[in-house]
Structure 1
Amino acid sequence: MKSHLSDRIKFPPGFWEGVRLAGIAAHDIARKAGLPLTIIHEPVVTTAQYFAIWQAYSDLIGDPAEGIIKLATSFETAKYPPTVLATYHARDYRDALHRMARYKQLCPPESLRIAEQSEQCTIELAWLYKEQPGPAMLIGITLAYLLELGRRGTGQYLTAQLVEFSQPMGNVQALEAYFGCRVRMGAACNRLTLHRRDLDRPFVSYNEELLAILTPVLDQSLHEELDSGSMTEKVKWIIKRNLAGGSPDMGKVAKELGLSDRTLQRRLSDEQTSFKHLLGQARHEQAREYLSDTSLDIKEVAYLLGYEDQNSFYRAFRDWEGDTPSHWRAERTGADALPDEWA
């Protein structure tokens, strides 16, 4: 989606002070990243520059786990940008997390997928740029900050249930001590699992007056960002971001876009499509992507696509591809493996 794949990223103004407190000089990061020193004062950077800066910080700090913990704990609340202040001053932890996921749309290149089920709340980090996943340090600090947000907001030392990383993150023991739970490397996705009961905890930092100022401004910025692309692209992007753990309905998507159900339906009709059609398209596209990752089992793929049971996913996939998910995956894996076998 063009409006969300913009190559201009607003750089957090407190980042450089945070890395200084972590013991790394800003000019050393710029040099390590191969960027001009003026980048330190740039409010907006490209995706390549953004990733290079995070990678340089990781290289200079040495152990990724140390870099993650130091930056997450040293970043000053007063330095938070407006998008983060609106989460820090939320009513409770749940409100904060959903605000974070919503306003992440203003700060690519990552997005957050939140799903509540039973006693758990999972937050999965997804990249908007499939061909250019972010550095491990950025993944780690994003998940660490989500827990740090809850700790600072509630004033309590909250712990997670499980943390999963797709890449190595250095000292596992240090990370487990920080998150207060098991940390698993080499997972299929990057995901933070919280205790669902913690989401109801009120924030001692709740500031109704400040939110009344920040929220309309941020919502207007988000509306302008979303309004810059076709409604079809916007709706499908939001659907994909919210699939895991449940099927997003038109009402929720319309609310996120700041529209009524009827207006959204009319806008989609004007573009010769419907919400039901886009939901099917989004699931089909994501199904092909997930099934190409052999580390995900079929049951997990069904969950990530928002199906309540595996059989519903099987029926839908047969309608899309005329094949079962297992056979489609096996054939694709075999096709990919042929060149190596014939070499």
Structure 2
Amino acid sequence: MHTADAENYHGEMASERFTVDPGARALLHDLEISVAHVLRRAQLPAGVFAHGPVTMTAEEYYRFWDAMDAEAADPDLAVRIGRALSVEAFNPPIFAALCSANLRTAAERIAVFKPLIGPMNLAVTADRGGLTIGFHWPEGQAPPRLLVAAELAFWVALARIGTRHEVHPTRVAMRRAPQPSATTTSYFGTPIREAEADTVTFSAEDASLPFLTEDESMWTFFAPELRRRLSELEASATTADRVRAALHERLPAGESSINAIAGQLMLSPRTLQRQLQSEGTSYQAVLSDTREKLARRYLTDRSLTTSQVAYLLAYDDTNSFYRAFRRWTGLTPEAARAGGHLTMT
């Protein structure tokens, strides 16, 4: 099993700005939706797309998608968006993903750079059961239903463009699933289910189908610039934020030590601990908090056994995880699962 998680969100996210896909204006034109009307509904400047790259706060981004939904008044708009996507409309992080060998590699790459594109992060889980891509949104306001559905449709479009096969996911789920629609079910090949998380799952076979668009030299060209932009975004994060992000990447690989995390952040363990202390916390506190939040999330996925969750959190053995979970919650993982006690209080 392999998990890649780029989550690095906190309460201040709503004030941060994210780059809007430059193909949004062309996409609205192709969908025959008035850009001017959408911007007016969203209470955004009329000339927002006229002066180079567009950035919005999470709140503005949500208003933009709500306005698009209201203007179109089409319950199947997410499917129309998926069908309208093309290579030409993709921005650099997405185009770079198409340079990948297959959907799994593309998902793992996008998970790293998704914060550059919009207010969300991705959790990518790949094992023999398939490839699952989960979406994590800012705390507070729920994301627009159209935005979530369009993100799900995007992954289907990406898989089809890359492989030139009519790939269908094995499962599509949303926390606020829309009313059943024959058009949507036909596009995905399966109904959108109501669930505790927004996810799309592909079979292991489809996730490993070769991308005919693979171009490793083009990826080599894109990657340094994407990493530079991501570094600029992360520069404003606290040390605790950066440690959490590194832990999301390292824990599934079995690494939880301060030496491993400090090395990834290019700091000495002593400097890392000193910076955390200046923020009123410690490495052990951040590690414990991160593990608890991940444990609660992983346990909502009933396909994961308790021992697998312990492995993903880099515990030496399942008993160590049991002791930690009981310390956090007063319950065993099984009892928390059965009683629905997995939400952070």
TM-score band (shorter)? 0.7 to 0.9
Map 1:1-343 to 2 at 5 A: 5=13, 6-41=15-50, 43-64=54-75, 66-127=76-137, 129-184=138-193, 186-240=194-248, 246=252, 249=255, 260=264, 263=267, 265=269, 267-271=271-275, 278-285=286-293, 296=300, 306=312, 313-324=321-332, 326=335
Aligned pair in 2 of structure 1 residues 195, 314: CA closer, same or farther (>3 Å)? same
Q: Deviations over 1:33-60 (max 9, x none)?
A: 2333123436112222111110111122
- Return 5+ residue gaps in structure 1 as ranges: 337-343
Paired amino acid for 2:273: S
Compute the TM-score of the two structures, normalised by the length of structure 2. Answer: 0.78
| Residue in structure 1 matched with residue 4 of structure 2 by the alignment | none
Aligned pair in 2 of structure 1 residues 198, 290: CA closer, same or farther (>3 Å)? closer
Offset, 1:242: 8.3
Alpha-carbon distance between aligned partners in 2 of 1:268 and 1:177, rounded to the nearest angstrom:
51
Offset, 1:250: 5.0
Alpha-carbon distance between aligned partners in 1 of 2:105 and 2:337, rounded to the nearest angstrom:
40
Alpha-carbon distance between aligned partners in 1 of 2:64 and 2:115, rounded to the nearest angstrom:
21
Q: Is the 8 A contact 2:170 2:203 kept in 1?
A: yes
Superposition CA RMSD, Å:
3.7
Tell me the secondary structure at the aligned position of residue 47 of structure 2.
Answer: helix
Q: Deviations over 1:162-194 (max 9, x none)?
A: 10111132443222211123421x211111011
Tell me the secondary structure at the aligned position of residue 38 of structure 1.
Answer: coil
Paired amino acid for 2:102: D
Paired amino acid for 1:118: R
Q: Deviations over 1:80-111 (max 9, x none)?
A: 11111111222322221111111112234111
Paired amino acid for 1:269: Q
Alpha-carbon distance between aligned partners in 1 of 2:250 and 2:146, rounded to the nearest angstrom:
24
Alpha-carbon distance between aligned partners in 2 of 1:187 and 1:328, rounded to the nearest angstrom:
15
Alpha-carbon distance between aligned partners in 1 of 2:11 and 2:234, rounded to the nearest angstrom:
7
Alpha-carbon distance between aligned partners in 1 of 2:150 and 2:340, rounded to the nearest angstrom:
38
Offset, 1:135: 0.4
Offset, 1:269: 3.4
User: How many matched pairs?
Assistant: 322
Paired amino acid for 1:192: V
| Residue in structure 1 matched with residue 3 of structure 2 by the alignment | none
Q: Is the 8 A contact 1:90 1:207 kept in 2?
A: yes
Q: Deviations over 1:263-307 (max 9, x none)?
A: 47455334357766533221224557899xxxx588879677846
Q: Deviations over 1:59-86 (max 9, x none)?
A: 222233x211111221232121111111
Paired amino acid for 1:116: A
Q: Indicate the percent of aligned positions where both proteins have the same amino acid.
A: 25
Higher helix share: 1
Alpha-carbon distance between aligned partners in 1 of 2:164 and 2:301, rounded to the nearest angstrom:
39
Alpha-carbon distance between aligned partners in 2 of 1:171 and 1:331, rounded to the nearest angstrom:
26
- Return 5+ residue gaps in structure 2 as ranges: 1-8
Alpha-carbon distance between aligned partners in 2 of 1:242 and 1:179, rounded to the nearest angstrom:
33
Tell me the secondary structure at the aligned position of residue 142 of structure 2.
Answer: coil
Alpha-carbon distance between aligned partners in 1 of 2:10 and 2:340, rounded to the nearest angstrom:
32
Alpha-carbon distance between aligned partners in 2 of 1:134 and 1:92, rounded to the nearest angstrom:
28
Q: Is the 8 A contact 1:87 1:96 kept in 2?
A: yes
